[in-house]
């Protein structure tokens, strides 16, 4: 599924258009819940490589801070204490990233369960499974909502999720599930976008610090100094002006998470969900494409 689904979905994008019309005439068909589940799964699968990239940026920026602070003291004990304190903070951030990865995987499991419920008349086993997933999400929620990433609080990005009414569905099992846990899932989807938005904001600050250092060393100083410019000066200047792909990818994932919540609410209400699913397809496709590009080794 994963990337192959998203790529094939892009090719069949026009196929989704009839749903925009049909969904407005009644409850969403099971296929829409299946597409929603696959897109949610594809988005969840981008989380680990995104967090790896975010951590690399965090360590690089923190190392610059440490290097600059190291010149302020020659006391070995103070230097070691500073290093240990910074390592401790970064280790705590890894813990937050691990919680977000688990949170994303639980949401992925819930999406799959929801798609199965949409295609069945009744299955108490699936309902019990969904309930268990939501309980696990609830256990993680307090830690993620209270998390601090560097100088950025996740709580500042949490929105008040709009309550969704539950429409009429052919699957009684699906309707019961949505009536029981729609607000819980909306809250968890909102939290997911909040954490990704906070990571993007902190990464933006981390990258800005690194780019300032690199620009001074590779663009500003060579240009100011007498003598010939390095042969790659123009390329380095261009690089300093571009938004790094790591930040583009995290920003895209945060937008896709927001679209995921919008699509979930639209599907839950049982009305015109086609437009929101189509937007979700576009946003997830963008995020997946950027993450795939992120995985490729840089060209020499």
Q: Which two tokens stand for residue 155?
A: 């709580």
Per-residue pLDDT tens digits for 275-295 = 888 899 999 999 999 999 887
On whether the CB atoms of residues 134 and 110 are closer than 8 A, the answer is: yes
The structure tokens 């020499």 sit at 300
Phi first, then psi, for residue 148 (nearest 5°) are: -125, 130
> What is the residue whose two structure tokens read 């299946």?
34
pLDDT band at 62 (very low <50, low <70, confident <90, very high): confident
Residue 298 reports pLDDT greater than 80: no
Task: Evaluate whether 189 touches 259 at the Cβ level (below 8 Å).
Answer: no
**Nearest to residue 260, comparing CAs of 28, 40, 41?**
40
**DSSP 8-state class, residue 225:** S
Of 35, 46, 30, 43, residue with least CA distance to 258: 43
- Domain residue extents for the chain: 2-295
88-121 residue pLDDT tens: 999 999 999 999 999 999 999 999 888 888 877 6
């Amino acid at each position: 599924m994963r990337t192959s689904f998203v790529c094939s979905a892009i090719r069949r994008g026009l196929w989704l258009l009839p749903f925009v019309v049909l969904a407005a005439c009644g409850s969403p068909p099971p296929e829409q819940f299946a597409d929603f589940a696959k897109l949610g799964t594809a988005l969840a699968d981008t989380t680990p490589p995104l967090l790896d990239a975010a951590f690399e940026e965090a360590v690089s920026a923190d190392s610059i801070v440490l290097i600059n602070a190291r010149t302020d003291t020659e006391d070995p004990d103070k230097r070691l204490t500073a290093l240990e304190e910074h390592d401790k903070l970064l280790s705590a951030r890894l813990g937050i990233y691990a919680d977000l990865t688990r949170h994303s995987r639980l949401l992925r499991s819930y999406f799959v369960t929801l798609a199965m419920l949409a295609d069945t008349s009744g299955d108490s086993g699936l309902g019990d499974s969904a309930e268990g997933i939501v309980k696990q999400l609830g256990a993680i929620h307090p830690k993620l909502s209270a998390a601090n990433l560097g100088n950025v609080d996740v709580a500042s990005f949490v929105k008040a999720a709009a309550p969704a009414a539950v429409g009429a569905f052919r699957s009684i099992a699906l309707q019961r599930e949505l009536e029981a846990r729609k607000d819980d899932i909306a809250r968890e989807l909102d939290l997911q976008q909040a954490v990704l938005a906070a990571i993007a904001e902190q990464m933006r600050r981390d990258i800005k610090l690194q780019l300032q250092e690199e620009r001074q060393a590779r663009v500003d100083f060579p240009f100011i100094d007498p003598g010939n410019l390095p042969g790659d000066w123009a390329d380095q200047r261009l690089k300093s002006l571009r938004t790094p792909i790591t930040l583009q990818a995290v920003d895209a994932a945060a937008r896709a998470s927001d679209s995921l919540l919008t699509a979930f609410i639209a599907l839950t209400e049982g009305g015109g969900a086609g437009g929101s699913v189509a937007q979700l397809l576009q946003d997830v496709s963008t995020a997946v494409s950027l993450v795939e590009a992120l995985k490729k080794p840089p060209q020499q």
